Structure 1
Amino acid sequence: MPIYVLSAARERVTQALPESPLRAVEIGGSAATMEKLVEIDTRAPGVSREKHRRYLRTDPATTGVLLCAGNDPVGYSYISASGHIGPLAVMRPDILRDAFATALRLAADRSAEKVSAFLPGTCDSALSLAVDRGMRIAFPMLLMASPGYGDWKQYLPRNPGFM
């Protein structure tokens, strides 16, 4: 499966970017939040990302947010100080575009010069949004994995080497 690194200047991404359709709430350490993250991971990449999240929580340059539709968490995203988005996971494929739009807004609100993300080739809605916002492929890759490793229409990795 192709995975593309897409990137663009922050100013380019923010031009005509819609308001964030989902509400972002910083990820806390409560048991209920951790359970919700496990549920999201079960539906998206299909595996526990607990160690991954623990690592990201200790990274001072990375912020994790729950993405909420109203009061209901429907996904999560991490955004680095360098403007990189990922990992990002959602409960259902139909909300990936809204989740990615919210993450783009959060990344663009930082002071980084560029915004970037790894987008699997199966994420049509996120890919089209990225291209519409002026993001271009900076580096193409090919992921080789056994079948059944998650739903790549619901998950954007931080980077393939980190999976």
Structure 2
Amino acid sequence: MKKLLLTLMAALMAVTAANASIFDKYTLKRSELPEEAQTMLTEYFPKAKVSMIKVDKHLLKKTDYDVRLSNGIKIEFSNKGKWTSVNCGKKELPEGLVPGAIRRYIAKNFSELKAVSICKRSGGYDIGLSDGNTHRFNLLHQYKGTVAAKD
């Protein structure tokens, strides 16, 4: 009985994993994004065209959105349209995306570098600089150190 149950569970998990991409949808229409996401794109990237929007529908989680702009910028949005991460590659982030205290800290301590990516976490922000290092800040915008590189 246990073997049968384990076999059924394994088969169900395999089918679910194989069909996970069924929940994803690709589009070019900004109108598929929540209004807050559309507003953010218009405010910070007014001239950039959308090259792809991946609507990620998760089985147990809410929908999120991965947006790629024609200039190479990658933005992730939550189901409500709030940005969760922005990666500008080698280009500098728009000034308004980085909180003022963090921006001032970077200007003072890393004056030769520019912020090229930002990721909101539950405990604060991870800011990627043009030298390839990522620095962590808490919710009070206080510097917490360099984030270890992932292998």
TM-score (norm 2): 0.35
If the length of structure 1 is used for normalisation, what is the TM-score? 0.33
Compare CA radii of gyration and give the structure with the larger one. 2
Structure of higher RCO (CA pairs closer than 8 Å, 6+ residues apart): 1
